[in-house]
């Protein structure tokens, strides 16, 4: 729909309404000063709809119900980008006189601006039933009917997916200690075994596939469902091989500059060919654009991890976590800075000896686009963990800090196809040597998005 068509229809419908209300008596206009109405009409004709709205809106308590006031207020709302308010005001006019064709046309424009193409089409079809309709208004209404019908039949369901294949080398596939012998206060000397218990390097391959379906339920409401599968297999030591299956579903709501997504999640983790852990939970993710360059975010989740093997039942836990963040586009927009902070509690309802875990930590991400096809990012963070119970091997409470740093380049080799070399480093400092480790992971990943 061309802007000129919309404005032409606005001028024509305004003329029709004026013809309907020009005979109003001065008594009917007593609640709102006629000079104010003339000033608002002049502002609208000058293209200053926001000024007209600011002039009229404070008078709505006394002016509501007067057709001329309501029409000017509704038109000012519509032309200043407040179509929802416009429909509310136009309804007041049509409730008194449903035959106001100009108001019907503007109501159709408001519904069209809201994305409610079904009701917009109904309003414009009603306009077309009027007798002796001016040819230009009829032609413009017919264009709106065609556009509304085309938009209402547009694709409301969007499906996205990806597949990623990677190869790499990990210096510590079991995220284990590098000490071959440990003196544990509770049990004495302990000799960790490779590869899960002792630092062991190996090469590996990864496969990840997933997708999501988003469906627009209404102008502001949407629904989503998605799933992911990830697998990692090692070349020499197959014991730590693992894969995960995760699913999610929920609703989204757009409030203009902000978006809220909330739903349920479920997943399963398989280790060494057997199902080790199942997870279910709920999550919510809110983000709001402050301006063109800045965005704030907040997220929260509650999940329960249930271990399947009888020997691991004491590891079961509920996790309550929250995250707040700030994202900003820097300079010419090719650099993005994202700072987040996460904290929470891991409630060990399985009676593990370490007890509950409280965690807290920051994360920083810097992402840069060098050219249209080449970009990169650096991300790093730290997570401080404090356990409430005394560890069964050490007889004291664990205190740990996990540091991690990752760097990657992304080269877009074709539409939807990218190649990503990546290197990651992580170090866990613990007052219990058994849980301290260092590892470096380098990989090359091919990703296809569709």
Domain boundary among 152, 177, 193: 152
Contact 381, 365 (CB under 8 A): no
Q: What's the pLDDT tens digit per position in 144-154?
A: 877 777 666 66
- Same domain? For 183 and 142 the reply is no
Instruction: Give the count of domains, the chain.
Output: 2
Among left, alpha and beta (phi > 0; psi -120 to 50; other), residue 65 is: left
Chain centroid to Cα 135, Å, comes to 46
The DSSP 8-state label assigned to residue 198 in this structure reads B
- Same domain? For 117 and 171 the reply is no
CATH of the domain at 318: 2.40.160.40
Position 9 scores a pLDDT of 52
- Same domain? For 25 and 113 the reply is yes
Domain boundary among 132, 152, 172: 152
- Same domain? For 106 and 225 the reply is no
Q: Which domain holds residue 348?
A: 157-449
Q: What's the pLDDT tens digit per position in 282-301?
A: 999 999 888 768 899 999 99
- Same domain? For 139 and 178 the reply is no
Residue 279: closest CA among 250, 252, 245, 249: 245
Residue 141: closest CA among 14, 15, 6: 6
Contacts of 298 by beta carbon, 8 Å cutoff, 6+ apart:
285, 286, 287, 322, 323, 324, 325
**Helix, strand, or coil here: 16?**
helix
- Same domain? For 11 and 26 the reply is yes
- Summarize the confidence of residues 166-187 as an average pLDDT: 96
The three-point CA angle 290-293-294 to 5° equals 40
**Helix, strand, or coil here: 236?**
coil
Domain boundary among 108, 132, 152: 152
Q: Give DSSP secondary structure letters for 134-177.
A: -HHHHHHHHHHHHHHHHHHTS--EEEEEEEEEEEEEES-TT--B
- Report the alpha-carbon distance of residue 301 to residue 286 in Å, rounded: 12
- Same domain? For 122 and 34 the reply is yes
- Same domain? For 181 and 121 the reply is no
CATH of the domain at 70: 1.25.40.10
- Report the alpha-carbon distance of residue 245 to residue 231 in Å, rounded: 9
- Same domain? For 15 and 58 the reply is yes
336 DSSP β-pair partners: 329, 367
Position 123 scores a pLDDT of 85
Q: pLDDT averaged over the chain?
A: 88
- Summarize the confidence of residues 3-18 as an average pLDDT: 47
- Same domain? For 79 and 161 the reply is no
Contacts of 200 by beta carbon, 8 Å cutoff, 6+ apart:
172, 173, 174, 176, 194, 237
- Res. 121: pLDDT tops 80: yes
- Res. 133: pLDDT tops 50: yes
Position 160 scores a pLDDT of 87
pLDDT confidence tier of residue 23, bands split at 50, 70 and 90: very low
The region of weakest confidence among 24-38, 205-219, 368-382 is: 24-38
Position 31 scores a pLDDT of 62
323 DSSP β-pair partners: 299, 342
């Amino acid at each position: 729909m061309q802007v000129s068509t919309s404005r032409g229809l606005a001028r024509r419908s305004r003329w029709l309404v004026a013809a309907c209300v020009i005979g109003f008596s001065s008594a009917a206009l007593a609640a709102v000063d006629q000079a104010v109405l003339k000033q608002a009409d002049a502002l609208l004709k000058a293209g200053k709809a926001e000024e007209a709205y600011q002039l009229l809106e404070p008078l709505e308590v006394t002016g509501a119900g007067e057709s001329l006031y309501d029409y000017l207020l509704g038109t000012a709302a519509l032309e200043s980008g407040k179509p929802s308010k416009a429909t509310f005001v136009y309804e007041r006019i049509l409730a008194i006189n449903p035959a106001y064709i100009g108001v019907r046309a503007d109501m159709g424009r408001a519904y069209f601006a809201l994305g409610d193409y079904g009701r917009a089409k109904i309003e414009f079809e009603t306009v077309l039933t009027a007798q002796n309709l001016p040819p230009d208004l009829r032609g413009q209404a017919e264009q709106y009917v065609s556009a509304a019908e085309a938009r209402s039949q547009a694709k409301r369901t969007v499906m996205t997916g990806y597949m990623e294949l990677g190869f790499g080398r990990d210096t510590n596939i079991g995220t284990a200690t590098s000490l071959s012998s440990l003196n544990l206060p509770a049990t004495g000397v302990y000799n960790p075994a490779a590869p899960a218990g002792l630092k062991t390097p190996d090469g590996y391959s990864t496969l990840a596939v997933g997708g999501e379906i988003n469906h627009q339920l209404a102008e502001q409401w949407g629904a989503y469902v998605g799933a992911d599968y990830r697998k990692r297999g090692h070349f020499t030591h197959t014991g730590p091989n693992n894969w995960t299956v995760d699913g999610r579903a929920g609703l989204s709501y757009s409030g203009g500059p902000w978006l809220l997504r909330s739903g349920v999640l479920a997943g399963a983790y398989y280790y060494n060919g057997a199902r080790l852990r199942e997870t279910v939970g709920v999550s919510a993710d809110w983000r709001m654009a402050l301006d063109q360059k800045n965005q704030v975010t907040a997220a929260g989740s509650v999940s329960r991890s249930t271990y399947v093997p009888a020997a691991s039942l004491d590891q079961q836990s509920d996790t309550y976590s929250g995250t707040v963040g700030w994202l900003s586009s820097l300079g010419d927009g090719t650099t993005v800075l994202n700072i987040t902070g996460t904290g929470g509690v891991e409630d060990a309802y399985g009676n593990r000896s370490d007890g509950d875990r409280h965690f807290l930590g920051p994360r920083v991400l810097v992402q840069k686009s060098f050219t249209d096809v080449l970009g990169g990012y650096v991300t790093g963070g730290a997570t401080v963990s404090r356990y409430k119970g005394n560890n069964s091997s050490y007889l004291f409470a664990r205190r740990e800090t996990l540091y991690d740093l990752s760097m990657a380049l992304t080269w877009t080799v074709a539409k939807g196809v990218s190649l990503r070399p990546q290197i990651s480093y992580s170090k866990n400092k613990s007052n219990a040597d058994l849980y301290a480790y260092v590892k470096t992971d380098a990989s090359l990943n091919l990703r296809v998005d569709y």
